[in-house]
Chain A
Amino acid sequence: LAKTTQPISMDSYEGQEVNITCSHNNIATNDYITWYQQFPSQGPRFIIQGYKTKVTNEVASLFIPADRKSSTLSLPRVSLSDTAVYYCLVGGTGRRALTFGSGTRLQVQP
């Protein structure tokens, strides 16, 4: 399974753009990159998924360079409610379940 590395924590202020980068040097050809968000005492929630280049939805963008060895989750104009833990997952090849790492704890301040 491809191992992922993300920063343990990040701080930001309301209204700023936040970029969280995840390294996945051993990503396999058929692997997708998926990001989840988790609030305390809740289950993680799917944010966005991509395979290459750029993906955008109503809450975030995901940038994936050509070599796919890293990816960047971009949260535009964060608010206090974006304070959460963000997990980067890589997988989807074969029948093995995805593996969650320790995630990045984002703290948004007023």
Chain B
Amino acid sequence: DGGITQSPKYLFRKEGQNVTLSCEQNLNHDAMYWYRQDPGQGLRLIYYSQIVNDFQKGDIAEGYSVSREKKESFPLTVTSAQKNPTAFYLCASSIMAGVGNNEQFFGPGTRLTVL
């Protein structure tokens, strides 16, 4: 089955620790995205990548870092610099970024709780 996976589904970390969220897709999509969603709110774009070894900051990139070493993978690291990291994190992919009828496919999400 083609799709996009995120792991783990739930993640607990102590304050001050860095944590990395996994996102993998086997859809052969060029573009991948990370969003953050707080309770009752919409999605906010953290980072996106249009091609391997390239990525751009979204609206709320501070305190986060990403890498895109492989087309299939786009891990997100939540660093200790992120002031309020507890949230629901969603990864998505699309054929290309920002081009015409460009449907994004979303993973199931990771709920991060910082204690």
Bound complex: CA A101 to CA B35 (Å)? 12
User: For A95, what are the chain B residues with a Cβ–Cβ distance below 8 Å?
Assistant: 50, 97-99
Q: Does A93 belong to the interface (CB within 8 Å)?
A: yes
How many A residues face the partner with a CB closer than 8 A?
25
Query: A43 contacts B108, CB within 8 Å?
Result: yes
The smallest beta-carbon distance between A33 and chain B, in angstroms, is 10
User: For B45, what are the chain A residues with a Cβ–Cβ distance below 8 Å?
Assistant: 97, 99-100
Bound complex: CA A92 to CA B94 (Å)? 12
Describe A's contact surface by its main secondary structure: loop
Query: B111 contacts A32, CB within 8 Å?
Result: no
Contacts A32-B101, A42-B109, A49-B103 hold; do A101 and B48 have CB atoms under 8 A apart? no
Query: B59 contacts A32, CB within 8 Å?
Result: no
Query: A97 contacts B33, CB within 8 Å?
Result: yes
Partner of A43, one of B44, B90, B102: B90
Query: A43 contacts B42, CB within 8 Å?
Result: no
Query: A41 contacts B109, CB within 8 Å?
Result: yes
6 contacts between A and B (CB under 8 A): A34-B101, A42-B108, A43-B90, A46-B105, A93-B98, A95-B99
B residues adjacent to A (C-beta < 8 A): 31, 33, 35, 41-45, 48, 50, 56, 58-59, 88, 90, 92, 97-109, 111
